[in-house]
Chains A and B, each alone.
Chain A
Amino acid sequence: MKRDISINVEHVTRVEGHGNIVLDVKNGKIEKVQWQISEAPRFFEAMLRGRRYDELRSITSRICGICSIGHSLASLKATENALDVSISEQTGMLRRLAINGENMQSHILHVGYLVLPDLLGVGGALSLVGSTHHDALLKVVKLHRLSNEMSDLICGRTTHPITLQVGGFSKIPSKTHLEDLKRRLEGGLKTTLGVAELIHNVADNIPDFSRETEYIALTAKEEYALYEGNLASTDTGIHADEKNYKSYVNEYFVPQSTALYCKHNRESYMVGALARFNINSDYLSPAGKQVAELFSLKSINYNPFMNNIAQLVEFAHNIEDSLQLIENLLEKGLKDEKPPEIAMKEGRGIGLVEVPRGLLIHDYSINDKGRCVKANCVIPTNQNHANIQKDMEAFVPTLLDKSEKEIELNLEMLVRAYDPCISCSTHYLNVEFVHE
């Protein structure tokens, strides 16, 4: 049926930016499909210029309320690389615990509160209260609480960490606290598998849409890379020279967006949980693999909606990986390590980490007084914008026989699948239809 469709989804958010969906179809012909970003420039890089090396982490931890641990770690790695500061094995393990905690916090929040309502066909998490899914919601809250308290224990706060420092930690958790966390994570793993079963029961509602694209994530030899690794692409393989990361992310401007877009080997690429899964699934823990098998998720999967399942897979992996890290820490014995001596020198450092939404890069140049003279931060959501646009262009033609309401919901679900750094995607629902 040839008809006109005009959809304009406007979203005004507070911190992470503004994203709009615009679709114009005239007489059955698609005239315009756009994922528009109207994010106001935030000038983080300018805020870092002139600041002391030991202030950079706390400033960048405020870039995002959800990825504040990831920003802290990317910042610390960039600073430490610039100043040639080494960290101890214990610090490395505690930082891996921190990044697991953040991944868990973010993934359960997204899958449990924002995606699950879509799969259950209700308007939002609030609709689950008192419904037949109330118990499932309580399980999600329980896992969320566990993830928050883990971050609190390792990083000193649930969000915007304070114990992470250049070269180490200002305070480490006690043996008793780690033993208690271990017991709780063991219980959390069982709950996670229960939540995975529930989501599996409604997995038929995940749209069956695939588009071949490139995936980029960190990769490492012996672990599912989150804290450390080399840049890798499903198209071009491993890229060990991190100082040339700009040739990998290739940021560029587009007229419809105030945020930068990125491309590498194709016109777009994707970062995030699905990219990590596609590149590193061999290194998942047994529980991570179990959840992937439950959903028949195999590498390489080209369905962007499966990013949410990859998040669930990672949640199970993060718990098991944390259990292993805690065991190792306890076995080696916790040491009250003194922070290393830091000599001021001129240098440039790059910090690469995987945060919940994908690859995060901080690049600092520091002068011989220890002050930052240049900074560049490449944020995962910006790397995904072009891929969201290309997905929309491919997805819309498959939706044209649906009602405007269904088209709108599907497009919003597509955006939500990427878990863009817009603090509450359920607030995406400020919708305006304009009929010709």
Chain B
Amino acid sequence: MMRKIGIIGIGNPLRSDDGIGVLLLDKLIERKKEFSQYITFIDGGTGGLGLLPLLSRFTTLVFVDAVDFGGKVAESKLLRFEDMKSMKTCITSTTHESDMLHVLLFSKQLNMSADEIFFYGIQPKDTSSGTTLSYELQKKFDFILHDLIRCIKNVERG
């Protein structure tokens, strides 16, 4: 089966650092030509359960989201969905955990999900109302974007 990769930015740009997934996605779309035709970029926003039917379109999914994994502010890492489940005690939550982790579990039970699911998580500082990222995330934004692109290319190579 042909590999189809979905990169889904999650979050709300009206809630400061919570929107970093969507802001990074915008930058990825601007650089779309650098990626293969098998990659689709999707702004999932705060769609939550509404995104369920979308998930079966892909063989691999990478969610880009603010994730509170107890790291340093603006630290980022690529996590496998399976690891997130097993790391439940150390991962406090993604800011959309109750949506996306639940939705992903639901989609897996329905056999309507991708074979591989990753989360590219960025440790937020502030998720209160606001249209700008915290200073720390702004400062590291380009670095995070560069790292995200590297991770997506690694995922693409398998």
Residues of A near any B CB (own CB < 8 A): 13-15, 40-44, 47, 59, 62-66, 68, 105-106, 109, 113, 125-126, 129-130, 137-138, 141, 144-145, 148-149, 157-160, 423-424, 426-427
Apart from A129-B106, A423-B98: 13 A-B pairs, beta carbons within 8 A: A14-B96, A40-B129, A65-B12, A65-B47, A66-B47, A66-B50, A68-B45, A113-B49, A126-B109, A141-B52, A144-B53, A159-B45, A424-B102
Residues of B within 8 A of A109 (CB): 49-50
Query: Judging by beta carbons under 8 Å apart, are A423 and B46 in contact?
Result: yes
The yes or no answer to B91 lying at the interface (CB within 8 A) is no
Query: Judging by beta carbons under 8 Å apart, are B49 and A424 in contact?
Result: yes
A3 to B68, CA, bound (A): 43
A43 to B14, CA, bound (A): 9
Query: Judging by beta carbons under 8 Å apart, are B102 and A427 in contact?
Result: yes
- Interface residues in B46-88 (C-beta closer than 8 Å to A): 46-54
Beyond A141-B110, A157-B43, is A423–B48 a contact (Cβ under 8 Å)?
Answer: yes
Closest beta carbon of chain B to A221's beta carbon, Å = 33
Query: Judging by beta carbons under 8 Å apart, are B110 and A158 in contact?
Result: no
CB pairs A–B below 8 angstroms (9 shown): A14-B96, A15-B15, A42-B129, A62-B12, A65-B47, A65-B48, A66-B48, A109-B49, A141-B52
Query: Judging by beta carbons under 8 Å apart, are A14 and B53 in contact?
Result: no
Query: Judging by beta carbons under 8 Å apart, are B43 and A160 in contact?
Result: yes
Beyond A14-B98, A137-B110, A141-B110, is A40–B45 a contact (Cβ under 8 Å)?
Answer: no
Closest to B96 in A: A14
Residues of B within 8 A of A64 (CB): 46
Query: Judging by beta carbons under 8 Å apart, are B53 and A145 in contact?
Result: yes
- Interface residues in B104-149 (C-beta closer than 8 Å to A): 105-106, 109-110, 112, 128-129, 131
- State the interface size on chain B (CB cutoff 8 A): 30
Query: Judging by beta carbons under 8 Å apart, are A62 and B14 in contact?
Result: yes
Residues of B within 8 A of A66 (CB): 47-48, 50
Query: Judging by beta carbons under 8 Å apart, are A47 and B46 in contact?
Result: no
A14 to B54, CA, bound (A): 22
Closest beta carbon of chain B to A30's beta carbon, Å = 31
Query: Judging by beta carbons under 8 Å apart, are B129 and A15 in contact?
Result: no
Query: Judging by beta carbons under 8 Å apart, are A62 and B96 in contact?
Result: no
Query: Judging by beta carbons under 8 Å apart, are B109 and A15 in contact?
Result: no
Residues of A within 8 A of B47 (CB): 65-66, 158-160
Closest to A149 in B: B53
Residues of A within 8 A of B45 (CB): 62, 65, 68, 159-160
Query: Judging by beta carbons under 8 Å apart, are A43 and B129 in contact?
Result: yes
Query: Judging by beta carbons under 8 Å apart, are A47 and B14 in contact?
Result: yes
Beyond A62-B13, A62-B14, A141-B112, is A158–B50 a contact (Cβ under 8 Å)?
Answer: yes
Closest beta carbon of chain A to B126's beta carbon, Å = 13
A41 to B52, CA, bound (A): 29
Query: Judging by beta carbons under 8 Å apart, are A14 and B50 in contact?
Result: no
Which of A15, A129, A148, A160 is the one whose CB lies under 8 Å from B53? Answer: A148
Query: Judging by beta carbons under 8 Å apart, are B106 and A59 in contact?
Result: no
Residues of B within 8 A of A141 (CB): 52-53, 110, 112
Query: Judging by beta carbons under 8 Å apart, are B105 and A14 in contact?
Result: no
Residues of B within 8 A of A427 (CB): 98, 102
The yes or no answer to B156 lying at the interface (CB within 8 A) is no
Residues of A within 8 A of B105 (CB): 126
Closest to B109 in A: A129
Closest to B93 in A: A14
Query: Judging by beta carbons under 8 Å apart, are B99 and A423 in contact?
Result: yes
Residues of A within 8 A of B15 (CB): 15, 42
Closest beta carbon of chain A to B155's beta carbon, Å = 22
Closest beta carbon of chain A to B112's beta carbon, Å = 7
Residues of A within 8 A of B109 (CB): 126, 129-130
In this complex, which of B12, B50, B99 has the most chain A Cβ atoms within 10 angstroms of its Cβ?
B50
Interface digits, B5-23 against A, CB 8 Å rule (1 contact, 0 not)?
A: 0000000111100000000
Closest beta carbon of chain A to B121's beta carbon, Å = 15
A115 to B103, CA, bound (A): 16
Query: Judging by beta carbons under 8 Å apart, are A159 and B50 in contact?
Result: yes
Closest to A105 in B: B50
Closest to A425 in B: B49
Query: Judging by beta carbons under 8 Å apart, are B98 and A158 in contact?
Result: no
Query: Judging by beta carbons under 8 Å apart, are B14 and A63 in contact?
Result: yes
A109 to B47, CA, bound (A): 11
Residues of A within 8 A of B106 (CB): 125-126, 129
